[in-house]
Structures are given as structure tokens and as C-alpha cells.
Amino acid sequence: MSTQQKLQDNFITLAHGNGGRYMRELIDNLFVHYLQNQNLDTTVDAARLPLDLMGGELELMATTDGFTVEPLEFPGGNIGSLAIHGTINDLAVSGATPIYLTLNAFIEEGLEVALLERILAGMAEACRECQVSVVAGDTKVVRRGQGGGVYLATTGIGVRPAKLRLGLELARHGDKILVSGSVGDHGTAVMLAREQFGLRGDLQSDAASVFPVTQALLEIPGLRFMRDPTRGGIATVAHEIARVTGSTIRLFESLIPVKGPVRAVCEMLGYDPYYLACEGRVVAILAPESADRALSMLHDKGYNDAGIIGEVTSGPALVVLVTRLGGERILEELEDDPLPRIC
């Protein structure tokens, strides 16, 4: 069977970038098909580099990301701060301490210089807060109409203890699923910033570094895995867990923290908050005897919306939402992209 037949699409659509099934098929059937012999691992947020550091005590970690959010500025941040936080977060959920970043900026002809300055100021402030440095970069300018104002591409470098092991293959039936805060804030804030639905609100994006959360969770014995639920939200992370472990993931609606404004917007417009992007949250899998301790620790550190929202159970590889009334519905894997250019 040819690669084209495997992909089952003749043209790329926005849905191929939403974090759901179409994006997974694009990566697995094209990128992996051609680059699988180049040590490419598409299952991790940051790749381990086989270099000996500190006598084998540390290992180097690398990640890369791209940012195309629309609008470029939104309540709680802009594409610049989002790029820094997003890159740092991919390293953090892999157990690494971020150190260096590189930056590529693709700027559209006609972009207002004052807007670019605000984007760079947001980026610089995020770097200072997170104690990382942008050490190299490149700039390209594209013709008017060939870009969305500015696109950013980043690479992140960090280090982690060589003995640390995190991964979905470590998950077991009975393990608990924890989220570090309310879900859907970023997706909803960006949607409101577009004002395309005639709605306005004061909801802030959750875009922030999750490094303090991940460092705290790494102190908990029984931590199996961490992921930041960006494109596709917590539902897409749950599907990844189900697919890799071959297990049924049960999420409990009454335990998932969703802010009132997010729920209200979703009900009015027909969106599901579980599929909306988060940019400052961690989804973690923990052994059942460790979950309560982890939750208590996050609450003590001020993450009051953190909650244990589900568990890994025996059964077919699917995601089940247990409703507030005690019923069940299957959360299908994301296909259509309701909010393009969200991160």
C-alpha cells in the first residue's frame, strides 16, 4: 500500500494540525514513514540525546515547537510569551530543567512594528520569569498575504537526571489521572479574543510555565507520566493514554475542573471543554497510592483547581466520560478542528 493511500487524503486541511486523529495519521503515515530511520520519536514531548553529562548523572533533552495563534495577542499573553512557555512546558513534562532556546521568526510584510515589539517584550518577560535564554535564531520576512502576521518556531534544550524514567508504558490498571488546574481556559480566551461570535469576557488564558508543577510532581514516588494538554485538550491526552496502554480511560465529569465562563461559552456555542487547548496545565498519571499525596501537595502550593479526574481501567482502548448523573458517554477522538490557529 502506498503512503498516499495510507494517509487517505489528497490535500492537507486545518484538521491535520488539530492534535487529533488526522494529525496523528499525518505524522505516522508521512513523517514517520520517511524519517523513522533517523532516530525520530514522535511519542515524546522532548527527545533524549545520548550524550554523557556530569559523568552520566544527567542527560540532554531537546524539543521543538511552532506557534501560529490567531489573534497574536489575547487575554493573558501573546504569541511571544506563548512560544516561550510552550517550549519550556514540553521539556518540563519530560522531567527536564529548561536551559536554552532558539527562535525562528517568520514575519509577514506589513506587520505593525509596535505589535512586534509587544510580542518580543512578552517573550523577554517569559524568559526572565523562567530563567531561560534565547541563544540563537533566524528571521525571515514573507510577502503580504503569505503569513498570519508572524509565525514562531522554537527549539528547547534542557537536562534531566539520567536515571529518571517517565512514559506511558509504565501505566498500570488502577492508576489515577490528575490535572493541575482548570481546563479549556486558553482555547476559550483565544476564541473570545477573536470576537467572531459577538461574545466578550474577562477570562484569561492559562498560558504559563508548568515547570514548578512538574518539579513538584517529580518528588512523588509513583509518578508514571506527564503531558501538557495543548491542542485537543485533555480528551486527546486521554486518547493517547488509551491507545498506547490498550486500556479504557474513565474520566469523571464531576471531578474535572471547568470554570464557569468556559462552561457557559461551550454550552452556547456547542463546544466541549475537554477538547479545548490548555497552555499551562499538566496531566499526570500516578500510582493509586500516590495520587492523593500529589493532589494535596499541589493544593498546598496554591494550585487550588487541581484534581484527580480519572483512572486507567481494564477494557478496550477508548475514553469514557462518567457524567454527573452517573451515565456514560464515549469521548470520540478529535477529528474536525473547531478552533484553528489556537497555539
- Sorted by where each begins, the domain ranges of the chain are 1-42, 45-161, 168-330
**Residue 255 to residue 23: CA distance in whole angstroms:** 29
CA distances to 94, 168, 216, 321 from 50, in Å: 15, 21, 26, 40
Q: For residue range 76-112, what is the model confidence (pLDDT) as tens digits? A: 999 999 999 999 999 999 999 999 999 999 999 999 9
CATH of domain 45-161: 3.30.1330.10
pLDDT band at 164 (very low <50, low <70, confident <90, very high): very high
208-264, pLDDT tens digit by residue? 999 999 999 999 999 999 999 998 999 999 999 999 999 999 999 999 999 999 999
Distance from CA of residue 227 to its chain's centroid?
7
The identity of residue 107, as a single letter, is I
The per-residue pLDDT for 120 is 94
Residue 7 pLDDT exceeds 70: no
What is the structure's pLDDT at 28? 81
Look at residue 343 and tell me whether its pLDDT is greater than 90.
no
- CA proximity to 93, closest of 158, 34, 149, 142: 158
Q: Does domain 168-330 have CATH number 3.90.650.10?
A: yes
Least confident of 36-45, 52-61, 235-244: 36-45
**Structure-block grid coordinates of residue 131:** 530563567
pLDDT beyond 80 at 4:
no
